[in-house]
Structures are given as C-alpha cells and as structure tokens.
Structure 1
Amino acid sequence: MSKRTVVIGFLGTQLDSGRGAGRWEKWRPTVSLVQHEDTVVDRLELLYTRPHEALALVIQQDIATMSPDTEVRLVALDMADPWDFGEVYGVLYDWVKQYPFQPEKERYWTHITTGTHVAQICMFLLTETRLIPGVLLQTSPPKRQNRENPGSYALIDLDLSRYDGLAQRFDQAQRDALDFLKSGIATRNAHFNALIEEIERVALRSKAPILLTGPTGAGKSHLARRMYELKKSRHQVQGDFVEVNCATLRGDSAASTLFGHKKGAFTGAATDRAGLLRTAHQGVLFLDEIGELGQDEQAMLLKAVEEKRFLPMGSDREVSSDFQLIAGTNRDLRIDVAQGRFREDLFARVNLWSYTLPGLALRPEDIEPNVEHLLTRAAAETGRAVRFNAEARARYLQFARSGDALWSGNFRDLSASVTRLATLADGGRISASLVDAEIQRLQWLWQRAGTASPSSAGVDVDALLPAEAASRLDLFDRMQLESVVRVCRASQTLSDAGRKLFGHTRTQRTVINDADRLRKYLLKFGLSWDAVARHTG
C-alpha cells in the first residue's frame, strides 16, 4: 500500500490572489500543486491568517474544481505580526506539536514557495529539525503562464548524508580549518590532533572565554591568534586581535593598560587612554599569563567579561566593549584559587572551555613534521633552501626524540635550534658535524647550573632492586635498565616514557600500547612505574 501525500503550506496572499475569471490564466503556486499529472496530493494543510480567510476559501474551491480527490483543510492561525520571527515560529511550533503525523502511512511535503520570508524560514527550520517529518517542496512558474501549464516542482531532502558532494565539502571545510589551526603541520600525535579538532569546533561555535594552559613555548599565543584568524575568515569577528602578557603589567599601569584611564587619574596620566579591552571591541583579547593579574584587575576583568561593561581608571562613567576572551597560563590556576591568589569566580568564568597544550617532549612523533615546517618557513624568509643530509637528519631526530632532549622551552627551543642549523649550513646542507655541535649546545642550554646534564645523571640500580636481584644482573641488562630508568625520570607519565623508548618500533605494530610494553619490561625486574619515577635513592 503506497503512502498518501500530504502537503503543508502557507497561503500566498499575493501569488495565490485573484477572484475573477482571469485568475485561471495566471500561475498560482498553491493551486498548481494539484495540476501535475504525475502527482496526486491527497491532502493539503493550507495555513493562513484570519484576515485572508476569504482568499483561502477561494483557493479551497478552485482546488476542489481541479482535483476533487484532494482534501483541503483550512488552518486559521492567530498572529498579530506575520513578520515577527518569534511569534510566527511560536505559532507554527505549537501547531506542529499537536499535529497527528503518521509517517508510516503518509509522506509530508513542506511547501516553501508561498508565505512571508519569515514563514518560509520557520517552515524550513521545522522540517530541518524533523518536527515536520518530511521534505521541502519548492514550486516554480512556467515560462508562459496559462491554465494548462502548472510549472514545475522540486523536492529537497534535508538529509545531508544523501548528498555526497555536500558532505565532502563540509568535510573539506573542516579539514582546512584544522590544517589552518595547525599551521599546515601534519602532526601525528593522536591526543594533540583530537585536541585541535575540538578547539576548531569551539572556536567556530562559541563566543565564550577559552583557557589555554601549558608550559612556556607550547604555542598558546600562536594558537590563540590562529583561532582569531579562523573566526575572522568566517566573518565571526570584525575587530582586532589584541594580545598582552599579564606578567608585564604592574601597579597603576596594569589597570590603565587593560581598562584605560581618564586624564589625571594618576600621576603621569597626561591624556585619556582607551585601554586594550576597548581596542578589542568585536574582536579577540588574548591575556597571556592571566594568573599574574592582581586581585583588583581580576575583579574588573570579571565584570567586563560578564557584563561587557567596565570603569576606566578615574572615570565615573562605564564604557562597553564586546570581545571574546582567550586566556593563557603556564600555572595550575586551581592551585592559585585554593591558595587565594586567583579569584574563584573569575576562574569559573574563564574555565568553560579549558585546554592543556602538551609540551614538545610529550609529542616526540611531532618533532619531525615541525622541523620540516620550520625549514620551509626559514627558506621562505631568507630565500635560501636548506636541507639535512641523510646522516645528519637521522642523528638530529634520534636525539630530539630521546629522553635526553628536555625541550624545556618547547617550540621556542626547537625553532631556535632549526634557525641556528639553517643559518650555519654551507651550500644549503645541514651536516652531521653541525648537528653534533647543536646537540652539545642544547645539552648545555638545558643543564642547570651546578647539576649534571640529563645524559650523565646517574641511576643507582642497586638502590632500586633487592640486593640478590641486583647481583645477578648482566652488564648489558644493568646498562639497559639504567638508560630506561633515566628516560622514565625525565618523563611525566608512563605513556610519555613509553613513546620515547619505543619511538621507532611502535610504528610497526598493529596495536600501539607503549605504556603496557614499558610496564611489562619493568616487571621483569620487579619494578613499578611509581618506584622508578619517584625513587630519589
């Protein structure tokens, strides 16, 4: 048994108008619905406002003349202003919610050719959200209008999964956005890629504050600017990207820099100053190291974020600024809140979307693509292409991904390292000798005064193992275990240490579980991660 066809549509007060005999010579969208020989409309739900009831009755009679089998139900809607979106949607929503839809017996077409633009949009939304369980129906007039030619019609199914071309364009748009946020770097770290995917969605869907945490040099400032540029490319912001490091703000200059001041507000305030919050109007304000703000500035910032209004220093009149806040910090603000250094209410406000950017040492698989990106960027800036020779490349990457490479400055350290190599490379080739010298420079850089370097830090295996077990160790096993323990102590987690230790063989495995491999290795000696990583000997 075939389903009955039900059309839901608005009366066209202009397009459907006409009462004299001449009306049959013009194209009327609602009447044309029943004039197509290949389509039978079993029922028409004709929506109209009460002032147009007379026209609705004419249309009902004319459809009965053209198609006696079509049932026309006139649905009078009470709305004071058919151009008020809220009112129109509310009235239609109420009608749709009580309508006895029977999708198993009937198919529903939502006619969007007639009615005000507001009504058409509302009907689209109700169908798109499946409150009307059907498809859109669009009708078009014929080139030559007469009684015999009903024009054409088209059905539009809003199930985008059926439109491969559209789906591919949406997917490509998202891939482009992710690539943009990552500066075109083909990162391989699964956790980081998942992080950027969520940040992309939030950046394009939300104007709420975003908090970026992570160590110095992890890329918080760079990511904040890329988020702004992505939003600007989608016409979501019109203002500027305004950045300030809160650690540089002290005393009166802190409030003045952020919120502005009136002339004479304090000694040295010779003229009015707008302040960075007003400069960021309709744009993005990035406050790096937000944890360094003083208590007074924190209170003023909270009001500005919540109410979009604040008082400049020395002024008795509030000013307004509508900006999106992105905050950055290398501190754990939860500890600062607990110790009273950071306002709990401000933390709650900026912590709606919170993301921790991993340091470079936690992303060893991403070092290689970042090195390639930095070399490409250096070539663009200097007009001089530079490449590693095979031996130099292997040596540099082996060190860069090892436990000896602390990358305490994160991407700043890596960028400086590649810049030095590119600058010193003769003939555009980075040699093994240059790499050896650079490794020594990095080891010196990361060695704190008065302490041993990471590679020379001693590991007392005898203190870790029972005396009997330690005495049975071959020299090979002892040296290997010492190296493994050294990497563990330079890592933050078991998984981090495992990624460093199994950096090459992990890519050849179907199932990657670095933490489990390392745990099993330690268990051979009766050791646990906690005992190895936290042992102070």
Structure 2
Amino acid sequence: MAQKAKARRTVVIGMLGTTLDTGVGSQRWVRWRPTVSLCQQEDLLVHRLELLHPPHGTSLAAVIRDDIAQVSPETEVRLTSLPIRDPWNLEETYGALLDHVRASSFHPEEEDYLVHITTGTHIAQICMFLLVESRLIPGRLVQTSPGKGKDHGAVGTHAIIDLDLSNYDTLAARFRQQQREGLSFLKSGIDTRNAAFNRIIERIEQVAVQSRAPLLLTGPTGAGKSQLAKRIYALKKARNQVTGPFVDLNCATLRGDGAMSTLFGHVKGAFTGAVGDRPGLMRQANGGVLFLDEIGELGADEQAMLLRALEDKRFLPVGADKEAESDFQLIAGTNRDLQLDVAQGRFREDLLARINLWTFRLPALRERPEDIAPNLQYELDQASQTLGTRVTMSKEAQEHFLRFATSPEGRWSGNFRDLNAAVLRMSTLAAGGRMTRDVVDEELDRLRSQWRPAGAAMTSAGEDVLVEVMGAARAAELDRFDRVQLADVVTVCRSARSLSDAGRMLFAQSRAQKKSVNDADRLRKYLARFGLAWADVSGRDAE
C-alpha cells in the first residue's frame, strides 16, 4: 500500500513591527497587530515563525511570541536578534538580513516559505523583497491588512504574492502593450514593414527609456533623423524621464564667432554687439534633450567645449569667468562618416568615442520600398492637415504612383523630404480633394526631371562619358541622336546596382506593355550595337 505523502509545513520569515506590533494590556487584543494577525488567519496555518528583530526590540518580540502561543498554539516562534542599529540604513539592513539568510538552512521540498513584508521600515521591506526576488529565500511574499468591522478588525486579512512574473499573464500583456505603444509612437503611428528598420526602432525604444547616454543617429539627408529625435524626446517626456525642453540646432547653420555664443551663451560685453547676457542653447536644454543635427559640421573649439559639457555637465560661456551647468541628454545626427572625419583630422576622436555609445543608422527611403505605401498614407494625412481639407487618391492613381515609387526609377535622393514634397504638390493640385492619374503623371514627370543625373542630356559632360567608355575617335563617329541616347543610357548604367537594375530603370514604361520581359537582355543587345558590354560602361561584372 502506497504511503501517504507528508504534508508540507508553512514557515514565515518576518520582521518585528516595533510600532504596528505594539499593544498594552487587554486592549492589545482589539488592536490590529500584523505579526499576531498573520497567525490568526483561518485559512493559513503557520507552523513556524522566524521573527527577526533589532536589539532594542527584544522585550516586544517576547510579548508577541507569548501572544501567538495563545491564539495559535501550533505555531513555533523563533526569535532572532539582528545587529541593525539604524533600520533606515539600506546597506546595514540588507547586510544583516543577507548574512542571516546565508546562515539559514532551507528545505523547500519539505517546507513552504512566506516572507512577511507588512512590518519593519520601508528599507527592511525592500530588502525582504529583493531577497525573495533573487531567490536567496526560496519563497513567496505575504502581506497582511487590517480587517473591516468591529469583529474582524484585529484579525484582518492576508494575501500571498508570487514573484514569478511568468504567472502574471495580465502584467506581461500590459508590458508588451506598453512596448508596442512606444514603438508605434517612435514611428509616428506608421505601420512600417521593413524588418531591418523595425529592429532599429525596437532597439532605440529600449535604449531611450532606459538610458540618458548620448544617441547618434546617422543616415542620409532626409532619412528622418530630426523627426525621430523629437519622437524620442516625446516618449521620454511621456514616461516622466525628462523635465526640461527639447532644443534642436542644425550645426551646419553655425558660422564664425556666433557658433560658441549660440551653443554655450555669452555674457554682456563679451564681444562687440553683446549688449546683454545670452544663456545659449545648452543651458536652455537643462533637464531635457539637446539635438545637434549635422554634428560633424561643428568647429574644433565647439567640439572641445561640447566634450567637456558631456563629461562634466559644465562649460564656460563666451567672455565669462564662471562656469555654467546644464544636465541634458544629447542626441546627435549626421549624414557624414565621422570615422573618416576623425582619420582626416576634422572631428575629435575623443568626442566621437563619447557620443558613439549608441549609434543607429536610418536607412534611405529607397532601401525600404515596402514602407513607401504606409508612408504615402501618412503624408496624405499630413497634407490634408496642412491644406485644411481631406485629400484622397483614386485606386488607379495610388497604384500608379506606388509602381513608380518602388521601382528602380524611384531614386528618392532626398528621401522623405522628396516624398513629402511630392505628396503636398499632388494634394494641392487635387481638384475637390480627389487625386487622379493625371495629377500623378504630372508629378512623376517632375520627379524624373529632378532626379535626372547631371550630364544625362547631351552636354559636354555627356560627351565626356562616351569618350571614357568608347574613346574620342569612336564617339565622334556617332550620329548626334545616338550620342544623346547612348550618353543617357551609360549614365544610368553607372548609377545602377546591376545590369538588371539598369534595364528596369531604362525600360520602366515600355516593359509594362509586354507580357514577358527581359530588361537585362534588352539592354545588353542595345549596348552591343555600339560594341559595348556591361563591364565597359559600369566598371562592374553583370549580376
């Protein structure tokens, strides 16, 4: 016959409440005393109570032990004096509790452990929490509360708390929801689909809410660095992580002596025209975020002062004898290769090391073709707000625009600035707020002209292109019509990533009329008419 499993014993570890656990005479039985109350719970049998107390609480601990013996004879009370002189000293309190726990023996296979966190100072309660959370005490938390009504006030109630957060589906779901909201906020609510970009934003969200270290945003002009910096600040503001303002400056606009004054301020009389004190942008950003776009444009003196301000939170305004202070978080932006600038002596190596802790490269729009559609809708909403009227696109117009925008022909050299300008122009010309195919066609012609490579038309630059690939004698033998066309083809080939890519750019319109297309073969045959191969015009092998 199988032997019945032995019931597990309940062991409570608690700190004496030198205030809450007190009581005098018979009146103490109508007073809620957390430690005594814990042993009076009908649905919780405490087999052993490890009651910890400071040296001056020995007498009170003995009274509590005797009172528990009356209400719960089954409970064994063990008193332990801890060497805590100042219960509000975190280091001393945690050290004493940690030493006690390490000297104790735990048998979780035989005993259930509860840690009472209602009594003791807040410091002691925090230390108890940490010991359970770190699993140094293999148990759960128990919290007692006074009851309601004359008959139940002294007994009160209790609640057991398990710190295994994997059991708390609701808390986990709320955390995931908060994270999703943060990611959506950083992306301006745009449902981006590019996996690489989404990973970047996810990492930025993690860093932004946990760190005040500098952030460096790199990428081409118009990739969205300024907009993202503002969203990072707004996210930190919503999480109560900054109290100061968002201050931004494009460093490319700084010139001469005014650069130091703009950034670091000046005192009255510092130079001709300084008729009063000026705080400077760095002091304005105190407690907030300072965004320095195009940081690579800063001069050597400004770089040195910025490094000092980042490391010491102190700097010297122009003409001042006394240093100023500002505690800000820096977000820097650049479209330059700062490592190359360091190698060429244009940027301080120590400053780059200081701002390069968290670096994120924002991809160009043409690297994220799958994100053009959701960004198109966002730009339509923005244009509608700007124009004060709702603007929409017909299905035909939208599909036509997206075919062009996501093809190799869509260069988007200005990135989101180009997209924003294109949508605003089309929205302005949309009669009655409805954008048609004709409006889109007009805009596409404008974009093609805007992005046409320099020298694509028959200019001296075009002549030079043909001379490079054919030689002067052969180029001179071409008819003018062929020279113009071939120069454009060669220029496109040089800017394309591959033979196929160049073919798609050159035959984007006519290919739509064909059921079966091979742009690469078509381009290869065209070049062969002039005795040229892909490697001749591009300098690369065909893919």
* TM-score calculated relative to the size of structure 2: 0.82
> SS in structure 2 opposite 1:396?
helix
Residue pair 1:403, 1:486 contacting (<8 A) in 2 also: no
| Equivalent-residue separation in structure 2 for 1:205 and 1:489 (angstroms) | 42
Residue pair 1:81, 1:87 contacting (<8 A) in 2 also: yes
Partner in structure 1 of residue 116 of structure 2: 111
Partner in structure 1 of residue 131 of structure 2: 126
Partner in structure 1 of residue 481 of structure 2: none
> SS in structure 2 opposite 1:96?
helix
> SS in structure 2 opposite 1:427?
helix
Q: Structure 2: which 5+ residue stretches go unaligned?
A: 1-5, 470-488, 506-519, 521-533
Identity of aligned residues (%): 60
Q: Does 1:382 align with 2:404?
A: no
Partner in structure 1 of residue 15 of structure 2: 10
> SS in structure 2 opposite 1:371?
helix
Partner in structure 1 of residue 330 of structure 2: 325
- For residue 245 of structure 1, report the CA deviation from its aligned partner: 0.7
Partner in structure 1 of residue 435 of structure 2: 430
2:207 is aligned with what amino acid? V
Q: Does 1:451 align with 2:456?
A: yes
- For residue 273 of structure 1, report the CA deviation from its aligned partner: 1.0
Q: Which segment drifts farther, 233-242 or 423-432?
A: 423-432
Highest CA radius of gyration, 1 or 2?
2
1:175 is aligned with what amino acid? R
Cα deviation, 1:372-394, whole Å, max 9, x if unaligned, reads 01111222332322222222211
Provide closer, same or farther for how the CA distance between residues 98 and 403 of structure 1 changes in structure 2, counting only shifts above 3 A: farther
Residue pair 1:489, 1:532 contacting (<8 A) in 2 also: no
Q: How does 1:317-396 map to 2 (within 5 A)?
A: 317-396=322-401
2:190 is aligned with what amino acid? I
Q: Which segment drifts farther, 82-91 or 323-332?
A: 82-91
Q: Does 1:248 align with 2:253?
A: yes
> SS in structure 1 opposite 2:51?
strand
- For residue 98 of structure 1, report the CA deviation from its aligned partner: 4.2
Residue pair 1:16, 1:29 contacting (<8 A) in 2 also: yes
| Equivalent-residue separation in structure 1 for 2:365 and 2:52 (angstroms) | 62
Residue pair 1:27, 1:146 contacting (<8 A) in 2 also: no
- For residue 149 of structure 1, report the CA deviation from its aligned partner: 6.0
| Equivalent-residue separation in structure 1 for 2:346 and 2:178 (angstroms) | 42
Provide closer, same or farther for how the CA distance between residues 19 and 383 of structure 1 changes in structure 2, counting only shifts above 3 A: same
> SS in structure 1 opposite 2:166?
helix
> SS in structure 1 opposite 2:69?
helix
Residue pair 1:246, 1:292 contacting (<8 A) in 2 also: yes
Provide closer, same or farther for how the CA distance between residues 195 and 531 of structure 1 changes in structure 2, counting only shifts above 3 A: farther
Cα deviation, 1:448-479, whole Å, max 9, x if unaligned, reads 432369xx9xx99xx9xxxxxxxxxxxxxxxx
1:422 is aligned with what amino acid? S
| Equivalent-residue separation in structure 2 for 1:379 and 1:277 (angstroms) | 36
Q: How does 1:249-268 map to 2 (within 5 A)?
A: 249-268=254-273
Provide closer, same or farther for how the CA distance between residues 93 and 280 of structure 1 changes in structure 2, counting only shifts above 3 A: farther
The one of 496, 502, 505 aligned to 1:490: 496
| Equivalent-residue separation in structure 2 for 1:20 and 1:533 (angstroms) | 100
Q: Does 1:314 align with 2:319?
A: yes
Partner in structure 2 of residue 506 of structure 1: none
Partner in structure 2 of residue 218 of structure 1: 223
| Equivalent-residue separation in structure 1 for 2:231 and 2:336 (angstroms) | 22
Q: Does 1:163 align with 2:168?
A: yes
Provide closer, same or farther for how the CA distance between residues 532 and 449 of structure 1 changes in structure 2, counting only shifts above 3 A: closer
| Equivalent-residue separation in structure 1 for 2:433 and 2:95 (angstroms) | 68
Q: Which segment drifts farther, 405-414 or 333-342?
A: 333-342
Cα deviation, 1:110-150, whole Å, max 9, x if unaligned, reads 21111122222332233334333322211122224569962
Partner in structure 2 of residue 61 of structure 1: 66
Residue pair 2:217, 2:334 contacting (<8 A) in 1 also: yes
Cα deviation, 1:390-435, whole Å, max 9, x if unaligned, reads 2221111011001111111100000000001100111222222221
1:397 is aligned with what amino acid? L
Q: Which segment drifts farther, 80-89 or 50-59?
A: 80-89
The one of 12, 27, 33 aligned to 1:28: 33
> SS in structure 2 opposite 1:35?
coil
2:224 is aligned with what amino acid? G
The one of 74, 80, 84 aligned to 2:85: 80
| Equivalent-residue separation in structure 2 for 1:87 and 1:487 (angstroms) | 73
Provide closer, same or farther for how the CA distance between residues 303 and 366 of structure 1 changes in structure 2, counting only shifts above 3 A: same
| Equivalent-residue separation in structure 1 for 2:256 and 2:20 (angstroms) | 69
> SS in structure 2 opposite 1:167?
helix
Q: Which segment drifts farther, 401-410 or 159-168?
A: 159-168
| Equivalent-residue separation in structure 2 for 1:2 and 1:451 (angstroms) | 89
The one of 71, 76, 82 aligned to 1:71: 76
Partner in structure 2 of residue 41 of structure 1: 46
Q: Does 1:96 align with 2:101?
A: yes
Q: How does 1:187-202 map to 2 (within 5 A)?
A: 187-202=192-207
Q: Does 1:50 align with 2:55?
A: yes
| Equivalent-residue separation in structure 1 for 2:275 and 2:102 (angstroms) | 64
| Equivalent-residue separation in structure 1 for 2:351 and 2:106 (angstroms) | 49
RMSD between superposed Cα atoms in Å: 3.2
Provide closer, same or farther for how the CA distance between residues 344 and 221 of structure 1 changes in structure 2, counting only shifts above 3 A: same
1:62 is aligned with what amino acid? D
Provide closer, same or farther for how the CA distance between residues 67 and 284 of structure 1 changes in structure 2, counting only shifts above 3 A: same
Provide closer, same or farther for how the CA distance between residues 236 and 533 of structure 1 changes in structure 2, counting only shifts above 3 A: farther
- For residue 79 of structure 1, report the CA deviation from its aligned partner: 2.6
Residue pair 1:24, 1:146 contacting (<8 A) in 2 also: no
Provide closer, same or farther for how the CA distance between residues 487 and 121 of structure 1 changes in structure 2, counting only shifts above 3 A: farther
Provide closer, same or farther for how the CA distance between residues 166 and 491 of structure 1 changes in structure 2, counting only shifts above 3 A: farther
Q: Which segment drifts farther, 61-70 or 376-385?
A: 61-70
| Equivalent-residue separation in structure 2 for 1:172 and 1:487 (angstroms) | 47
> SS in structure 2 opposite 1:239?
coil
- For residue 530 of structure 1, report the CA deviation from its aligned partner: 11
Residue pair 2:29, 2:154 contacting (<8 A) in 1 also: no
Provide closer, same or farther for how the CA distance between residues 252 and 93 of structure 1 changes in structure 2, counting only shifts above 3 A: farther
2:43 is aligned with what amino acid? D
Q: Which segment drifts farther, 141-150 or 372-381?
A: 141-150
Provide closer, same or farther for how the CA distance between residues 334 and 83 of structure 1 changes in structure 2, counting only shifts above 3 A: same
Q: How does 1:136-175 map to 2 (within 5 A)?
A: 136-144=141-149, 150-175=155-180
1:357 is aligned with what amino acid? L
2:378 is aligned with what amino acid? H
| Equivalent-residue separation in structure 1 for 2:535 and 2:187 (angstroms) | 35
Cα deviation, 1:256-302, whole Å, max 9, x if unaligned, reads 11111112222222211111110000000000011111111111111
1:377 is aligned with what amino acid? Q
| Equivalent-residue separation in structure 2 for 1:328 and 1:423 (angstroms) | 32
Partner in structure 2 of residue 237 of structure 1: 242
* TM-score calculated relative to the size of structure 1: 0.83
| Equivalent-residue separation in structure 2 for 1:246 and 1:378 (angstroms) | 28
Partner in structure 2 of residue 522 of structure 1: none
> SS in structure 2 opposite 1:47?
strand
Cα deviation, 1:294-351, whole Å, max 9, x if unaligned, reads 1111111111111111111111211111100000000111111222211111111111
- For residue 440 of structure 1, report the CA deviation from its aligned partner: 1.4
Partner in structure 2 of residue 416 of structure 1: 421
| Equivalent-residue separation in structure 2 for 1:298 and 1:128 (angstroms) | 45
